[in-house]
């Protein structure tokens, strides 16, 4: 079943069977199968940097899709396969509307992916060559893991290595040649998938409130994933804020000065949008026939 036309998933298995485009690219002398989302996909993502840490920002269905992609990549057996989330599936970040770098998921045990490969991939983005076909995303066991996250992790305690558990030996998540690269073993990709797929702003719990939920998926906090129930509104507000600030200060180029101004204006616009929405709902209820 091709679910790319659906606006929101209806359950935890909504992305099992999702079709992905496949292209062959030679990067650093190695042929890679590069998977990517198809044009009908409606989920969107953004990437922000805050105090040296990267944040992937999305909405609920985006979190489910990202978790599904990580889980599916963990279970792919073909070597030298990477997955790229690129334009048009990337928004400007919802804080200061800076452009988002592409996201690359790398099964570290089956796909060596160094700096030169990253540089060559970035030069080819956005991918515009015709797709060579499609592959289906398979997520066996993902729905069950999300249904009882605590039990899933309890059944997979970290192995010990001379006083340190294996979570301290994870590959480094971070920027590589202008790409946000997520390299992970099968186990770690699955852990990240469950952490991300479980993020739902509607659920009560720690780190939840004001329509936002977030979690660090790496022990050094090099990557967080934030999920907003009003993600698209926030992206719109950030774009408006950036347009206004750059129009008012056309000569301003220093990002260290520009970004705080945009973030401050973004907050004002977002508060106004929320206030206007509340007023419209109140008026609608007042005018509704009793």
pLDDT of residue 37: 97
Domain parsing of the chain, residue ranges: 19-229, 235-287
CATH 3.20.20.70 fits 19-229, yes or no: no
User: Per-10-residue mean pLDDT for the chain, 290 residues long?
Assistant: 40 79 96 95 94 90 96 92 96 96 93 93 93 94 93 84 54 89 91 93 64 77 88 95 95 92 94 83 73
Please state, in angstroms and rounded to a whole number, the distance separating the CA atoms of residues 269 and 275. 10
Cβ burial 22-47 (10 Å sphere, 16+ → b, else e): bbebebeeeebbbbbbeeebebbbbb
pLDDT of residue 160: 63
Q: Which residues touch 146 (CB under 8 Å, ≥6 apart)?
A: 12, 67, 194, 197, 198
pLDDT of residue 10: 46
DSSP the chain: ---TT-SS-SSTTTTTT-EEEEEEEEETTEEEEEEE--TT----EEEEEETTEEEEEE-HHHHHHHHHHHHHHHT--SSSEEEEE-TTSBPPPTTT-PPPPPEEEEETTT----HHHHHHHHHTPSP-SPP--EEE---TTHHHHHHTHHHHHHTSPPPEETTEEGGGGPPPPEEETTEEEEEE-HHHHHHHHHHHHT--TTS-STTEETTEEEEE-STT--EEEEEETTHHHHHHHHHHHHHHHHHH-TT---HHHHHHHHHHHHHHHHHHHHHHHHHHHHHHHHHS--
Q: Which residues touch 35 (CB under 8 Å, ≥6 apart)?
A: 20, 21, 22, 73, 81, 82, 83, 84, 135
Q: Tell me, rounded to whole angstroms, the distance of Cα 87 from its chain centroid.
A: 13
């Amino acid at each position: 079943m091709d679910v790319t036309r659906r606006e929101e998933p209806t359950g935890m298995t909504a992305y099992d069977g999702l079709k992905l485009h496949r292209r062959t690219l030679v990067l650093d002398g190695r042929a890679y199968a590069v998977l990517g989302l198809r044009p009908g996909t409606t989920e969107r993502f953004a990437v922000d940097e805050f105090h040296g840490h990267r944040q992937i920002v999305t909405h609920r269905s985006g979190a489910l899709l990202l978790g599904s992609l990580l889980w599916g990549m963990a279970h792919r057996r073909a070597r030298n396969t990477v997955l790229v989330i690129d334009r048009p599936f990337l928004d400007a970040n919802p804080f200061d509307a800076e452009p988002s770098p592409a996201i690359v998921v790398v099964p570290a045990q089956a796909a060596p992916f160094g700096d030169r490969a990253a540089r060559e991939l970035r030069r080819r983005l956005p991918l515009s060559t015709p797709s060579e076909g499609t592959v289906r995303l398979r997520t066996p066991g993902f729905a069950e893991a999300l249904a009882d996250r605590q039990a899933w992790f309890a059944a997979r305690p970290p192995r010990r290595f001379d006083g340190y558990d294996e979570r301290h030996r994870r590959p480094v998540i971070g920027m590589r040649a202008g790409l946000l690269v997520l390299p992970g073993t099968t186990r770690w990709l699955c852990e990240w998938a469950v952490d991300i797929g479980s993020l739902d702003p509607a659920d009560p719990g720690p780190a939840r409130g004001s329509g936002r939920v977030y979690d660090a998926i790496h022990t050094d906090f090099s990557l967080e994933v934030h999920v907003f129930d009003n993600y698209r509104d926030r992206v719109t507000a950030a774009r408006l804020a950036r347009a206004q600030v750059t129009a008012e200060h056309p000569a301003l180029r220093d990002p260290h000065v520009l970004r705080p101004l945009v973030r401050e204006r973004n907050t004002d616009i977002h508060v106004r949008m929320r206030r206007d929405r509340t007023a419209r709902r109140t008026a609608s209820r007042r005018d509704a026939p009793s």
